[in-house]
Amino acid sequence: MWFFMNTCYLMSIVTFLALVIAFFQSFLNFHVINANHVTFMILTSILYAFTETLVIFFYVGTGVSIKEYTAEHKLDHSFHKRSIAIKRKVYPPLLLNMLFMVVLFVLVGAVDTHRIPLLVYDLFFLFCLIDYARIKIVQNDCFRYNTQIILEMSGLK
């Protein structure tokens, strides 16, 4: 679990840095790893999708583990209910951010073909970056709560 959670943190940092670089690349027109903005955004979208899928699977996996552990050791089901409450807190904003990012990644092509103004794209990109940072704060809180549940359940806290 710890390796998985730390991997989520590491990938979130890498994704955030890639998004920030892509944001500045959109209006400063520089190349990263010999890639223009559109090409770098493709890489960034892959990183983003991988990272957020990893986060979702973390909560799914720990939720299943908590459910199985409580059933196996005949513990109170409140641990599992608290785990579900964490998912209810983290999933809605996470999925909304994923929707925003998908729209952003599609808009890259619209900007590249001059269908929408660069300013509109950059403002939406800034909004997406701020929302992504907000989501990471929510995820961090939920990681902490999830860890507390596991520690309490195992008797370590």
The CB-side HSE value for 68 (13 A sphere, CA atoms) comes to 6
Is-contact 15 105, C-beta < 8 A? no
For the stretch 58-108, pLDDT in tens is: 999 998 988 888 888 888 888 889 999 999 999 999 999 999 999 999 999
Tell whether the model's pLDDT for residue 55 goes beyond 70.
yes
Confidence (pLDDT) at 108: 93
pLDDT tier, 157 (very low <50, low <70, confident <90, very high otherwise): low
User: How far apart are alpha carbons 120 and 26 in whole angstroms?
Assistant: 12
Confidence (pLDDT) at 8: 93
- Region of 80 (left: φ > 0; alpha: ψ -120 to 50; beta: rest) is alpha
Confidence (pLDDT) at 120: 95
Bridge partners of 35, per DSSP, are 32
Whole-model pTM? 0.90
Domain boundaries, the chain: 2-154
Give the pLDDT mean for 51-64.
93
User: How far apart are alpha carbons 118 and 69 in whole angstroms?
Assistant: 52
For the stretch 10-44, pLDDT in tens is: 999 999 999 999 999 998 989 998 999 999 999 99
Bridge partners of 32, per DSSP, are 35
User: How far apart are alpha carbons 53 and 141 in whole angstroms?
Assistant: 18
